[in-house]
Structures are given as structure tokens and as C-alpha cells.
Structure 1
């Protein structure tokens, strides 16, 4: 670098969140804020209604998936509490996995 300071339109200004005096948009309303716009067609009109319908469908599907995972996790947890030999094998496998990941991390650095 030549020692000159960069102006507002530089990459540094863009990284800091401002370019040409406007804040850069961050976040968005969760997964739907980034996922839903690709399925919205402004030519069909009532964009807010399209967002509302697709958002409701997304929330319903997320509720079903998260609820299923919760129920299955509870049942598997109960099953593992009753079967000590299986739980011990799972614990050994999990410990081995963490040790292996730790060794890999140490070697890669």
C-alpha cells in the first residue's frame, strides 16, 4: 500500500457496513428473510400476502420438523437411559470422535 488513506467508497468502508453513507443491510427476519424472496412474484400482486402465506407454510413445516426431532430425541434418550451397554458404546464413540477432531485441529494449526 502507498500509505494513502482510502476514501469512503473503499473496500474498508464497505466492510465496516457503510458505503456511500448508507448502512449495509444485515440480518433479515430469520431464515425466511433470505429464503422466501426467491418464491415471490411481484407480477402476481399483493407481495405482502405472498410473503404471509409462504411464511405461514414455512413456520408450520419448521414446527413439524422441530417437534418431530424433539419427540424422537426424548424417546431415544429414554431408550439410552434403560440400555447402559448401548449408552456406554455411544459415549465411547462420541469421545473418540471428539479426540479425533481435537487431534486434527491441533495438526492442522
Structure 2
């Protein structure tokens, strides 16, 4: 059984990552703004299934692979850190853009394509891959039972927090976009704060320790 410390740690990590702009947030916010909340909810369903796919892969032995092959873990960790740094630069550079900035009209998609796009966006999101491959294993306790059982529980915490945050972002996207668009300074403040947080996560990811022994 996982500890409350592990639950809190995973929840905080996922909260911080979910609140920083990335592919999932940009996709869900843009769909909700241009095609309505229903479209955003369908896309969110695909995002949730993407989380579940990563969870099953992790429970099937992804963390064990990285424990057995430290070089593979190191590569994923550094690639993930570089990706987070890239996202941070995209927010902080001159002319950088907030995910809530109006992006122009997007062509409407069917429910099937909305779901598939949400799923693929999440599956191809290096931030989520890094979370499951390199961060969740750090919360495993060799004395708390089988690693796969712990990963299922920790992943469940991540999914609940991730879907809740993404859902709130999606449902409030249109209102937030309108609020920030009318207040350029607020838009800039949100952009710099989000970019700075991404930068912090990039550094912490690069300096993080290896996965826990299983």
C-alpha cells in the first residue's frame, strides 16, 4: 500500500505539470474556445484514455526497464528536461505566446476525431511520458508491495489530478481567454509565470535521481 507521502508527492508533481502549458492544455483550450465545451469534453476523454495507456505500460514493467538500463533512463530524463526547457523558452522568449491567447479559427472536427486527437496528443506528449517513465518510479517503496501495484495506485492519483485540472482548464478556457485578451499585462504575467515554472521543472528533471529500485 502506498503512503500518504507518495500520494501527496505525485499529486503535487502532476498539479505543477498540468498547470504548465503543454500540448494537452493547448489542444483542450483551443478546442473549447473554437468549437465549444462539448468538443473539449470529447477531447478530454481521449486525453484520459492516453493517461490510462501510459499507466498500463508503466505497470507492465517500464520502470523496471529503466532500473535495469540506467542509460535508457538517463536519455529519457535529459530529453524530457530539454523538452520542458523548450516549452519554457517558447513562453518566455520575446513574442512568446500563452495557450489562452486567441489562435484564430480551427476547422471543426467530428467526435471521433476529437477523441482521437486528444488521445494522440497525450500519447505523443513527452511531458507525460517523462512523468510515467522517470518520475513516478521515484515514489516507489521496496517495502510497500509489488511495484506494479504501487504504480497502478500512483498512476490513479495522477489521472484523477490530471483529468480534473485539464477539465477545469478546458471548461474555463473561453472565459480566461477573453479576460486575458482584454488585459495584456495579465496575459504577459500568466505567460512569464507559466514559463518560469516550466524552467524550474526542466532543471529539477535534469537533476533528478534515478528510479527507485523495484
Could you say which TM-score interval applies, normalised by the shorter chain? Answer: 0.3 to 0.5
Structure-2-length-normalised TM-score: 0.26
Higher-Rg structure is 1
Higher relative contact order (CA 8 A, sep 6+): 2
| Structure with greater helix percent | 2
Taking structure 1 as the reference length, what is the TM-score of the superposition? Answer: 0.46
